[in-house]
Amino acid sequence: MIIKPVNGKHPQIPEDCFIAENATIVGDVEMGNECSVWFNAVIRGDVHFIKMGNKVNVQDGAVIHATYKTSPTTIGNNVSIGHNAIVHGCTIHDNVLIGMGSIVMDDCVVESNTIIAAGAVVSKNTRVESGSIYAGIPAKKIKNISPELTKGEIERIANNYVMYSSWFKQV
């Protein structure tokens, strides 16, 4: 794994987090408890800060970055960032699933209890309404999320990644 400071800013990673051997975390990155950063994921806090809450999983190949001096990245609690997703200079609230291969661009706000569908592109300055699913290019609201889907998908995946990371800590 590559964990290194940039311009005197060191990543802050609690001991209970799992970081895969080939993940990269650099610069002004602050992670909450029970987070996991998976194989080939990159969290690059070199041009602005990146703050992550508790139980955030950054899946294989995902990239989290920001925009120089203008757009930091803030991620809430219980957030899953799917394989090969890009989260860039935006705000993600609590209980969110960012689907595989999706892109969330600068200055977007993804409100709580939402799903960004796999492959969606959330264009700059979009506000994703709480309790909804956004899909497509550019991403648009396609429906509301039921409480069952919130519990069955968003919470289940966040909790599963805490469990999965425990398997790797035992090795």
Neighbours of 142 (CB within 10 A): 13
Q: What is the pLDDT at residue 162?
A: 94
Which secondary structure element, helix H or strand E, spans residue 160, and what is its range? helix 156-169
Q: What is the value of pTM for the model shown? A: 0.94
Question: Using an 8 Å Cβ cutoff, are 153 and 115 in contact?
Answer: yes
State residue 103's pLDDT score: 98
Q: What is the 3-state secondary structure (H, E, C) of 99-112?
A: CCCCEECCCCEECC
Rounded to the nearest integer, the mean pLDDT of the chain is 95
Predicted pLDDT at 151: 78
CATH number at residue 68: 2.160.10.10
pLDDT band at 171, cuts 50/70/90? low
How many structural domains compose the chain? 1
Look up the domain containing 152 and give its range: 2-169
pLDDT digits (tens, 9 = 90+) for 69-114: 999 999 999 999 999 999 999 999 999 999 999 999 999 999 999 9
Q: What is the CA angle 36-41-43, rounded to 5?
A: 85
Q: Has residue 143 got a pLDDT over 90?
A: yes
Does residue 116 contact residue 128 with C-beta atoms inside 8 Å?
yes
Question: 148 pLDDT exceeds 90?
Answer: no
Cα angle value 6/103/41 (rounded, 5°): 45
pLDDT digits 0-9 by tens, 7-42: 999 999 999 999 999 999 999 999 999 999 999 999
**The pLDDT value given to residue 1:** 85
